[in-house]
Structure 1
Amino acid sequence: MSQLFSPLLRALNQLGDAVFLGVVLRSVIWSAICFTALIAAILWGLQPLLHLHGTLAWAADLLGTAGTLLLAFWLFLPVAAVIGTFYIERIARAVERRHYPTLSPARGAPLGAQIADGLSLGLRILLLELVGLIMALIPGIGIVLGWLIAAYAIGRGLFMAVAMRRMPRPAAIALYRGSRGTVLVQGGIIALAAYIPLLNLLIPVIGTAVMVHVLDRALSTASEAA
């Protein structure tokens, strides 16, 4: 059991790190800017589009605000994940500096491939959350299915992003396949935080830190097997 939660506990123990707190702050600020711009664009564009005035304009503003807030809540995780990918290198370096100081500097996949994979992660989470939202309407199993989808998207996406810092994409995929069970279990643990307000702000930071520890374990296992 201690092995199961060890990556998460080690990540949480480093949460006070200045690098971690800086990334959380930046993610919150950029997410807030994105959603504020989205709300403003919808509200300012709604009235001229519908030519509403008086009470109808007020009602349209209210409905538009409510709908936009719901949209923002749904979009938060993929947006935060995309934003978090821009800081994966910074978070991973902080984890390695504290826990794996003897590691050589990361030289993996080209930066363009890493960015493309990060953007793919955000899009994948967005699409899978839409599926999860539809599945949530299924009595009994909808929430569980949504959680499993999030576990896959977050687990695989963050593991691949971390692994590609140190190896080409084909090698990262092969390592993922050999550690799929561990990656998905850790992804499931991280995905639970997505349902908890405020705690979901930490997903890009804690998730990346967790996967650095998972990657180290996967590399050690692969080395022993060889």
Structure 2
Amino acid sequence: MDLLLDQFFNIDIMRQVLPLLLRGLGMTLLLCLAVIPLGLVGGLVIALVCRSRYRPLRWAAFALVDFFRAVPPLVLLIFIYAGLPFVGVRPSPFLAVCLAFFLNTGAYYGEIYRAGIESIGKGQWEAARSSGLTLPQTLTYVIIPQAVRNVLPDLVSNTVEVVKLTSIASVVALPELLYAADMARSVTYNPSSLVLAAAIYLALLWPCVRLLSRLEHRAGR
């Protein structure tokens, strides 16, 4: 038991590496602030394009959504970061992560938005248009607010997955939380820093998980 505590719950080591992990947490939060809004906005645009009257545009949007949902985000990230330099494009680690996550999460958010929009009855569209609202006004004031409310649990769930997904940014040496914890482990020869990083992730995501449970319960009622 003493060996277990010393290797995984060494308080002295956790105290020493905490400043490094907090800097990594700052990068993780910055990454989330960049990726999540991009994914939400991009997903909404994708959902609207998927409902376009122009069949070729609609098919192209469906193909891109299916492609980026099928490709593992880690593969996409490595391709952008390590593959694009062969054609003269050298993105920074932060830019590569943002682009890869935007393409992946935008596709998932797009499908969620599309399901929400399709859940709105045709009568809502007809009533809004008959009252004199233009199509953009109908979407902005009538359809999208109701659609978001209908799929809010799914949006929150996907956002939680995005936050957890930021941990793969460590493969391109972006100094986020997991990368900082792994660097601390390699210096101290002790995995307590990884346990501390897991505790930080838990503290960060637990409120979101509880919020998701309440939203799902409310939606079920």
- So what's the TM-score if we normalise by structure 2? 0.36
The structure with higher relative contact order (CA 8 Å, sep 6+) is 2
TM-score (norm 1): 0.35
